[in-house]
A and B are shown apart, each in its own frame.
Chain A
Amino acid sequence: MLVVGVVLVLAGIALLFGLFREPVYTAEARVSIRPQEELEGEEARLAFLESVRGAVVTEEMMREVRRRTGWEASPEAFSERLDPRTVVNTGGGSGLQIRFSGNEPGQAARAANAYAELFVEGTRNLDDRPLSDGVPVAEASVEQRALPGGYSPRPLIYAAIAAGAGLLVGGAAALILEGRASGWRGVRDAELTLRVPVLGTIPDYSSKRAQG
């Protein structure tokens, strides 16, 4: 009973949390960036990407990204939902992965795409200017545009995880309470618990006397 109770309570809380929490939609865009010279090693490519990002991403660009997204809240809140990452693929391709988590699918896609497009424009404006490591950008393009979708809160998954946690917590609590309990459920219970034979059971004498 205890285990079932804990499981139900935790799963219920998780379900309600999942259902009534403000929905979050995540969209993802990708920008491919190629240097003019072939760079050896992952570290060198990552450093190149970081230097490109450092040169391209400005406050002015971010303002324009927010404008194209139709963002009305604070710039800090926008930055919290934006997650641009430099990525280097094993096949040699490298670039930027831009994720944005919005309150509605269109907004998320708009933000990710605006960032990607403005980033590519920014790299073109760099012309052949060498970056901090001396290698200019040869080509940058939007490799993948973000599509509306990607609903992230999954109430049923949350509920299932909570039910699993409930099983563990409830099971542990039941074991502890069982150990501390002094209510014996009869001979079989006593023999299983104590692993010695029960030679006799004596009823509560006072209640027997009261009945007698």
Chain B
Amino acid sequence: MSEDGARGLLDPGSPVRGHYEKLADNLLGMGGTGSVVVTSPDSGAGRTSVCLGLGAALASMGRRAAVVDCNLENTQLHRMIGEPNFVGLTSGLDDGKTLEHYGYEVIPGLLIVPTGPILSEPASLLEDERIKMGIRGLQKSRHLVLLDAPVAQKVLRSPSLLGGFDGVLLVVHASRTPKSVARETTDDLLEAGANLLGVVLNGCT
């Protein structure tokens, strides 16, 4: 999605805002969902868009939210909001400070935390215990922290993303994600013990 498109999701007049508010309602209604890993069966399903739209909807509903970019191998979030990636998740973990100081409050109530500079092995960074502590620290000031995670196959290989947070939200694209791949992914996630909260059907016509 282009920067304009992503910014449009933050706009209170966005034509899809109502759909995101409904999603936010459903998610909050489940209870105990302070930190949610957002993944998808394949790339291009719209994980980052869903994170931004959901985060913006939560903020507009008076819930403080944060989106943390965990795509350490393919950073996207900062580009979509048109901000630099000089500081972010990795810098916050290195400094041992709350992630509140390493992001951008793009609209009131929504903090966007980019990856920050990636200097070491991205996969091992995700397994670092500090990432859980960093997210927990952020939860103190945010009702809901959305982790914009890599595709499900990578999440399955990361015990930290798979079971370290309150649940997993799977984004499926209505016209791009093959049914068999989506089915396989949900089966794999459930088999691996993930708390699969549900699915977002993105790009419906």
Contact = CB atoms under 8 A, between A and B. Distances in A.
A203 B180 CA distance: 22
A9 interface: no
B200 interface: yes
A90 interface: no
Interface string B169-182: 11011111111101
Q: How large is the interface on A (under 10, 10 to 19, 20 to 34, 35 or more residues)?
A: 20 to 34
B203 A211 contact: no
B112 to A, nearest CB: 18
B51 to A, nearest CB: 12
A209 B201 contact: no
Interface stretch (B17-25, B146-154, B157-165): B17-25
| B contact patch SS | mixed
B67 to A, nearest CB: 16
Q: How large is the interface on B (under 10, 10 to 19, 20 to 34, 35 or more residues)?
A: 35 or more
Contacts of A193: 179, 182-183
Contacts of A205: 1, 5, 8-9, 15-16, 49, 203
Contact of A202 (B19, B27, B169, B180): B19
Contacts of B1: 205
A204 B183 contact: no
Contact of A212 (B15, B46, B177, B178): B15
B8 A202 contact: no
Nearest to B57: A200
Contacts of B178: 179-182
Contact of A200 (B5, B23, B49, B182): B23
Interface in A180-203: 180-184, 186-187, 190-191, 193-203
Contact of B19 (A179, A191, A200, A206): A200
A110 B27 CA distance: 85
Residue of A191, A205, A207 with most chain B CB atoms under a 10 A cut-off? A205
A179 B200 CA distance: 19
Residue of B22, B49, B199 with most chain A CB atoms under a 10 A cut-off? B199
Nearest to A207: B205
Contacts of A182: 173, 175-179
Residue of B16, B22, B196 with most chain A CB atoms under a 10 A cut-off? B16
A199 B198 contact: yes
Nearest to B4: A209
B182 A201 contact: no
Contacts of B27: 199
B179 A200 contact: no
Given A199-B200, A202-B203, A183 B172 contact: no
Nearest to B177: A182
B154 to A, nearest CB: 20
Contacts of A198: 198-201
Interface of A: 178-184, 186-187, 190-191, 193-209, 211-212
Given A182-B173, A200-B23, A205-B16, 19 more contacts: A180-B180, A181-B178, A186-B204, A194-B186, A194-B199, A198-B199, A199-B197, A200-B19, A200-B22, A201-B200, A201-B201, A202-B46, A202-B49, A202-B53, A202-B202, A202-B204, A203-B15, A203-B19, A205-B49
Q: Which 6 residue pairs spanning A and B have beta carbons closest together?
A: A200-B23, A199-B198, A208-B15, A179-B180, A199-B26, A197-B198
